[in-house]
Amino acid sequence: MKIGVIGSGAVGSLFAAHLATLEDIDVWVYDVSEAHVAAINKKGLRLTGVGEVHSHPTATTSGRDLPALDFGIVATKGMHTRAAIEATSHAFTDGAVCSVQNGVGNEEVIAEFVPRVIRGTTFPAGRVMSPGVVQWDTAGSTWIGPFEPKPATGDEVEQLAETLTRSGMETSALEDARGAQWTKLIFNAASNALCSLTGLPHGRAALNSDVRWVMDRVIEEGKAVAAAMGIEMEKDPAILLEESIEVALDHKPSMLQDVLARRPTEIDQLNGGVCRFGDEVGVATPFNRSAWSLVRGLEASWNLKEE
């Protein structure tokens, strides 16, 4: 079986490194970073932290190099989804492509380019330390299921889940993966956006009664949108938030890391996604839209000279 990982940041590298430990799987990595690709091809891909993994996928910066693949796993940031799938879609003319990205809306973009799509949500996290080397910070599960408008077959979903689990990335195949996706989406919309706007780390933000009041409103709106879409939550995001106080007290969520480094954020896929789906089902989302436009304003401040 041939699997391509599209986008090899921290999350993509976790998937690629694990899969490449399996002898029966041929793993390809597509990434735009020349340095990262060269390091993987020369010295392999190395994970340290939660576990030690060292394996040798084949990496490339050119989509044209990819052979026909059975599965794709897209792990780019949301704003790069379109360019990444556009560059690699020829490899999936008879394959199924799974998004393990943050937020919502990525599967819709992928479905414009490939025949069969899998919706995915993943919790493991890490950081790229240097080319070819990734710090694995958090272990966790992955949930996948067919993306209904252009679904992969149930067998394909099962097969991918089985392969990922066998490689060490515990994955569950579901008939409807929207509950898992929206659980993480709503949790992220509350935590990432509000941490970014206040500069507070995860648990500290949830402990601040003023920030928590706004987070709770963002979560309520998200749950109302999900309910109107007929989605059953995997877990209450409000409980995840409460748990973050203990497990992530001083953890800076990825969007806050982006803001501190002045990189574009995934706010369009998070709070922006809640708003877009809210519009579709007629549920008002004023708090999510406020957070969305405030983070957009924050991004705009980086390009401003003042007097």
Partner 1 sequence: MNLEPVAIVGAGTIGGLTAGHLARVVDVTVLVRRAEHAEALNSRGLRISGKSDFTAEVRATTDPADVSKCGLVILTPKATQLDAAVAPLSDVPQNTVFMTMQNGLGAEEVVLRHGAWPIVSAVTFMSGTRHSDEHVEYELDTATWMGPFHGTDTDLATVETIGDMFRRAGLKAEVLPDLRPAQWSKLIFNSAVNGVAAITDLGHTPLYARRERNSDLGYLVADLMNEGKAVAKAAGVDLFEDPWEMNTEAVSHGQTDSEEYAHVPSMLADIRADRRTEVDFIIGSLVREGDRTGVDVPLSRALYRLVKARDRSYDDRIGTS
Beta carbon of residue 194, minimum distance to partner 1 (angstroms, whole number) = 8
135 close to 46: Cβ distance less than 8 angstroms: no
Compute the chain's Rg from CA coordinates.
19
Neighbours of 126 (CB within 10 A): 20
Looking at 24, 175, 246, 306, which residue binds partner 1 (CB under 8 A)?
Answer: 306
DSSP assignment of 175-240 equals S--HHHHHHHHHHHHHHHHHHHHH---HHHHHHSHHHHHHHHHHHHHHHHHHHHTTPPPSS-HHHH
The residue among 75 and 205 lying less far from partner 1, judged by its C-beta, is 205
Looking at 95, 145, 272, 273, which residue binds partner 1 (CB under 8 A)?
Answer: 272
Size of the site for partner 1 (CB under 8 A): 38
The residue among 64 and 305 lying less far from partner 1, judged by its C-beta, is 305
Q: x/- string (CB under 8 A) for partner 1, residues 212-231?
A: xxx--x--------------
240 close to 222: Cβ distance less than 8 angstroms: no
The residue among 3 and 241 lying less far from partner 1, judged by its C-beta, is 241
Asked if residue 281 binds partner 1 (CB under 8 A), the reply is: no
- Residues 150-209 binding partner 1 (CB under 8 A) are 194, 197-200, 204-205, 207-209
Pairwise CA distance, residues 175 & 163, whole Å: 17
Place of tokens 């003023």: 210
Pairwise CA distance, residues 192 & 204, whole Å: 12
Burial of 217 (0-12, 13-18, 19+ CB in 10 A): middle
Asked if residue 103 binds partner 1 (CB under 8 A), the reply is: no
Region from 17-25, 28-36, 169-177, 264-272 binding partner 1, contact rule CB under 8 A: 264-272
Asked if residue 210 binds partner 1 (CB under 8 A), the reply is: yes
Asked if residue 250 binds partner 1 (CB under 8 A), the reply is: no
Q: Which residues here bind partner 1, judged by CB under 8 A?
A: 194, 197-200, 204-205, 207-214, 217, 267-268, 272, 275-276, 279, 286-287, 289-290, 292-294, 296-298, 300-301, 304-307
